[in-house]
Structure 1
Amino acid sequence: MSATAKRIAMWSGPRNLSTAMMYSFAARGDCTVWDEPFYSAYLEYTGMDHPMRDEIIAAHEPDPDVVASICKGPVPGGNAVFYQKHMTLHMIEGFDRRWMRSCTNVFLIRHPARVIASYAKKREGTTLDDVGFVQQSQLFDEVAGWSGKPPVVIDSDDIRAAPEEMLRKLCAAIEVPFTRKMLHWPAGGNEADGVWAPHWYAAVHRSTGFDGVEGPLPKLGGVYAELALQALPYYERLAAFKL
């Protein structure tokens, strides 16, 4: 591993442009990507019933200590950059988080109304824990506490509005060189996709770059509207620090 190798831990909830961002970094040519490293361990330790639960646990590493050791270890493939796409809800209490100090931690955010509208189409009975806003805020505070400064925050809406500008800002903030290769990727998915990709990644598999600006916020009703209101303060708090 190069002495200048960069490990990036990108923290988001689900439906946050997180897979497109992983594809963007994979397209660099100098970057190894890892899709939701702790997903199997999260399901194994919590007993949560997610789509394809048994397949995920069987196909991916369920021991959080093994996952952590890889996250902080040499970059697989000897690349200069190791991009880890993490879900905030997967980093449950009891999982050792010391590995995070070996990474540049970045927080990818998206307005909760958009997240909840998208997530509810894929999995019924959505709860505040499922969408990861509370956990994201807690992890942000934890990183800020031991690093002595707020970690980098980037908003998915801003990326979609101006992909090159925002990726240039992100790369400067995390001290990796920007390349225009990050703006496009082949359709059809990536070999690093988790086994859960068929359930969750249909839209991004059709893409070859970042989609354009989204329209007005979706109108939510009932329990989903209340859920968005509960999540909004956590989103707005991190949005105050965004690039």
Structure 2
Amino acid sequence: MKSVINLISGPRNLSTAIMYAFAQRSDCTVLDEPFYGYYLQHAQEVVSHPAEAQILRTMELEDTKIIHGIDQLAYKSHVFVKGMAHHYLQSDPSFILNWNNVILIRHPKKLIASFSKVIKEPGLKDIGIKKAAELFLYLKENNRTPIVIDSDELLKAPERYLRKLCATLKLPFETAMLSWPKGGIPEDGIWASHWYENVHNSTGFTLQKSSTQPLPQRFEPLLAEAMPYYNTLRNYILKNDTHAPDLQP
């Protein structure tokens, strides 16, 4: 059985670009938010989502069937699962203990400034950092401490960071991960036209305009609420430095 690489992210965190990178690998199948339909079906959700009716109509809604499908794919190739932290509604998500978990974070100040361009008044639940911290602690308590990666660290030197990530995952690095064709990939979720404009216009990892956007003052309380959860994770971030043996070609 091959590995399942489970990327747990919040919104506006380069998670789609990382999925695109893994989609270029010769040994990997990628899945775009396979728990999205399950989340929409079971969450106590009041905010409508783009393409919600189509997602509910076309995606698997039972988590046990989704998990089984992912594990079955892993008999044929490595599987990269891109998922949102808040899609994990299970009180005891023990199935992820068998996977190689990667938690992708971004400083809440930048995350909130970016996300507020799409959702005008986001709350703590919307930005995903609280759930990401809870999943990190759950995995750590079960002796499965995940890899923590950071969007800003990645953008310092994408190739060096992807090499470090692959080495940590015990996968060979492939140069193809650094670029992709413009316009999207076949594995995109049906919601891609609503959310993926930036990555569809890209051919590789680039600095986002939102990285330099100021945080509106009205979001200062949300930032203060988010920071303790970010601080839970920040000391575990994989650093993008040169002091690592995996940088050999």
Q: Same fold (TM over 0.5)?
A: yes
Question: 2:208, 2:125 → 1: CA distance?
Answer: 27
Q: Using structure 2 for the length normalisation, give the TM-score.
A: 0.89
* 2:116 counterpart SS class: helix
* 2-structure distance, mates of 1:242, 1:62: 33
What is the 5 A alignment of 1:1-243?
3=1, 5-48=2-45, 49-75=48-74, 78-79=76-77, 81-94=78-91, 97-147=93-143, 150-212=145-207, 217-243=212-238
Identity %: 40
SS at match of 2:187: coil
- Structure 2 letter corresponding to 1:120: S
| 1:154-184 per-position Cα deviation (integer Å, ceiling 9, x unaligned) | 1111111110111111011111111111101
* Count of equivalent residues: 236
Alignment partners' CA distance in 2, 1:38 and 1:169: 28
Please state how far the C-alpha of 1:60 moved relative to its aligned partner.
1.4
Deviation, structure 1 residue 234: 1.4
Distance 2:208 2:117 in 1: 20
Is the partner of 1:178 in helix, strand or coil?
Answer: coil
> Aligned AA for 1:82?
V
Shift of 1:114: 1.6
CA distance in 1, matches of 2:111, 2:203: 21
Matches of 1:139 and 1:34, distance apart in 2:
20
RMSD (Å), alpha carbons: 1.8
Cα distance change of structure 1 residues 228 and 217 upon mapping to structure 2, 3 Å threshold? farther
Matched AA of 1:139: L
Whole-angstrom CA distance in 1 between matches of 2:49 and 2:124: 15
For 2:211 and 2:63, the matched residues in 1 are separated by 39
CA offset digits 1:51-76 (Å, max 9, x no partner):
22212211211112211222333328
Cα 1:63–1:225 change in 2 (3 A) is same
Kindly state the Cα deviation for residue 37 of structure 1 after the two structures are TM-superposed. 1.1
Letter in 2 for 1:72: D
CA distance in 1, matches of 2:211, 2:83: 27
